[in-house]
Structure 1
Amino acid sequence: MMDVRRTGERYRGGDPAAGIESLHAFSFGPHYDPDNLRFGAVIACNEERLAPGAGFDEHPHSHTEIVTWVVEGELTHRDSTGRTSVIRPGDVQRLSAGAGVRHVERNDGESPLVFVQMWLSPLTPGGDPVYEVVHGIADSTPYAVPEAGAMLHVRRLGAGERTAVPDAPYLYVHVVRGEVRLDGEELGPGDAVRITDAKDLEAVAVTGAELLVWEMTP
């Protein structure tokens, strides 16, 4: 079963006056929707746009796996474990909040920052915070988040290229850029598909495209 969610259907948030624009794919903050709380392990997929100098001041997280993908610009991260890093396009950042962690996310660069941040529910809550960055992840290289029973696949396709979509009980496909066709559905930037019991599916790039695909267990 496929459930297509268009970018125009996302909840708008953030603080435009402070240079923060957010689009939420799931129930989030003041936008409470009891029928849209999660899909598989995914409980949030936020598209964030930060103007130069803008950012999220220190705030807490717990019992959440947070995976960030930068589309444009540079994201500066600092957290309560003492880590500081700069995340750029092509890098995968993961913050496993464990029983509790605090962090800051800012655009300290001179260009606009665009990133997609996905939150996953862990199989077992608690534990110590864990932080990891994989710089320049290669196309088709899976990134495992075993704490959530999930695997992230990053696909970059040229126009006309095809890619198999994993067979899985739950798949969440997010189009970062470009246009693709998936099982007869035309998808553009920011569109997402929630697929249950995926089998023998294929994505075809109509234009050059970049996809984030979450493969999840029940």
Structure 2
Amino acid sequence: MRIQRAGERYPGGDPAAGIETSHAFSFGGHYDPDNLRFGAILACNEERLAPGAGFEEHPHSHTEIVTWVVQGELTHRDSAGHATTVRAGDVQRLSSAGGVRHVERNDADVPLVFVQMWLAPLDPGGEPGYEIVPGIADSTPYALPEAAAMLHVRRLEAGERTAVPDADFVYTHVVRGTVRVDGEELAAGDAARITDARDLALMATGDAEVLLWEMRDPRRSFS
């Protein structure tokens, strides 16, 4: 298990334009050849957008982009014709496939906070795809077969425990609160990268919200 603390993330964005980004993996000018990906995950960015701020139209390709809104509302438009508002508790997925362009903005009058994760597809190319799952429940994992991955959302009260999925790779990101996993204390913004996870549990040491990515080696199947 490798721990990455919130303070070890790479700063980015454009604070003068109301965009503050915190990168967990190599990104832009912050290049680390030992921190390019974990399992299928290529990026895990914490984004904070001031009212009226946003990312103007930009391209993506050969990437599965999953967004979890923590606070506020995210306005999304893309070149495939989708125009949506993503709210706290919603899971948004954009399969950029052979290529798509999109806009992400905070058109509300309150700050927007979201976590965006990029995953490598098993088979690049194809046609772009898009969906929103509103108000996803703790007991309903979000399957992303295109990347051999599942997203588990856990909202825990202090003292509550939950199983860490048994998997080839598990990426744990603490959205808020504090948790303990395998003896390690994690706070908001911290992440744990677990290889060959077996018989592990996560316990909330305060009220917490956690994202858990369960990923398999593409040469193997989920058990």
TM-score, reference length from structure 1? 0.99
CA RMSD in angstroms, aligned pairs only? 0.4
Q: Distance in 2 between matches of 1:127 and 1:140?
A: 31
3-state SS of 1:187 partner: strand
Q: In structure 2, what is the equivalent of residue 199 of structure 1?
A: 198
SS at match of 1:37: coil
> Partners in 2 of 1:140 and 1:57 — Cα distance?
35
Matching residue of 2:120 = 121
Count of equivalent residues: 217
- Distance in 2, matches of 1:63 and 1:28, equals 16
Matched residue type, 1:103? H
Secondary structure of the residue that 2:32 maps to in structure 1?
coil
Runs of 4+ residues over 2 Å off in structure 1: none
Counterpart in the other structure of 2:220: none
Residue matched to 1:38:
37
1:165 matched to 2:164: yes
The offset of 1:20, in angstroms, is 0.2
| Letter of the 2:45 counterpart | N
CA shift, 1:32, in A, is 1.2
1:29 CA drift (Å): 1.3
Report matched runs for 1:134-149 at 5 Å.
Answer: 134-149=133-148
- Give, as a single letter, the amino acid of the residue that structure 2 aligns with 1:182: V
1:78 aligns with 2:77: yes
> Distance between the aligned counterparts of 2:142 and 2:82, measured in 1?
21
| CA positional deviation for 1:162 | 0.4
Distance 1:25 1:61 in 2: 19
Cα offset for 1:148?
0.3
Listed as ranges, the gaps of 5+ residues in structure 2 are 218-223
Tell me the residue number matched to 1:69: 68
1:140 Cα deviation (Å)?
A: 2.5
Q: Percent identity?
A: 75
Alpha-carbon distance in 2 for matches of 1:184, 1:119: 28
What amino acid sits opposite 1:126 in the alignment? G
Equivalent residue for 1:97?
96
